[in-house]
Amino acid sequence: MRAVIQRVSQAEVIIKNEKEEIRESIKQGIVVFLGIGKQDNEKDLQWLVRKIIDLRIFSDDEGKMNYSLSDIKGEILVVSQFTLYADCSRGRRPDFTYAADPREAKELYNQFVFMLEQDKLTVKTGKFGADMLVCMHNDGPVTLILDTQIIFAGKTQR
């Protein structure tokens, strides 16, 4: 799994469909762009959820990153983004061979959201597979990239 995490002071996702425009928004917290690969499984999911919740990326009174999302009672906006698995090493068109099948990815995406909600966090989402407009005020800026396949390469601790 790949996640691009951005600390935000506020964020909003706008989903346009034929009949209406759906908006979801958060205040202080993080936006998680989540990509799911063919090899991803439940262990990747559990590790990533715990890591995101516990990362100390929010500033204390001295300006040091000492607080986690849970500590500040922050909110999360989760946006599915299969393009995180784009292979751009050849040609000019991205190759999405490594992205999970949409049905499998949607199931893991929904589990990811459910697990975050179980931690008593305010979680908002985009719509899986939809075209969306994401607006955010990146705070810091603080942007982190987590990739379970790179993190676990050569390790058996999952």
From first to last of its 158 residues, the chain has per-residue pLDDT tens of: 999 999 999 999 999 876 778 899 999 999 999 999 999 999 999 999 999 999 999 999 999 999 999 999 999 999 999 999 999 999 999 999 999 999 999 999 999 999 999 998 999 999 998 889 999 999 999 999 999 988 766 564 44
CA dihedral 60, 116, 107, 87 (to 10 degrees): 10
8 Å CB contact between 60 and 124: no
140, part of any domain: yes
78, part of any domain: yes
158, part of any domain: no
Number of structural domains (the chain) is 1
| Residue 83 among the catalytic residues | yes
Residue 63 three-state SS: coil
The set of residues, in sequence order, having a beta carbon less than 8 Å from that of 39 and lying 6+ positions away, is: 149
157, part of any domain: no
Range of the domain at 105: 2-151
156, part of any domain: no
Question: How high is the pLDDT of residue 155?
Answer: 60
Marked catalytic residue, from 83, 97, 122, 156: 83
Question: How high is the pLDDT of residue 19?
Answer: 76
Specify the pTM: 0.91
CATH number assigned to the domain comprising residue 39: 3.50.80.10
Within 34-100, residue ranges assigned H as helices are 42-54, 69-72
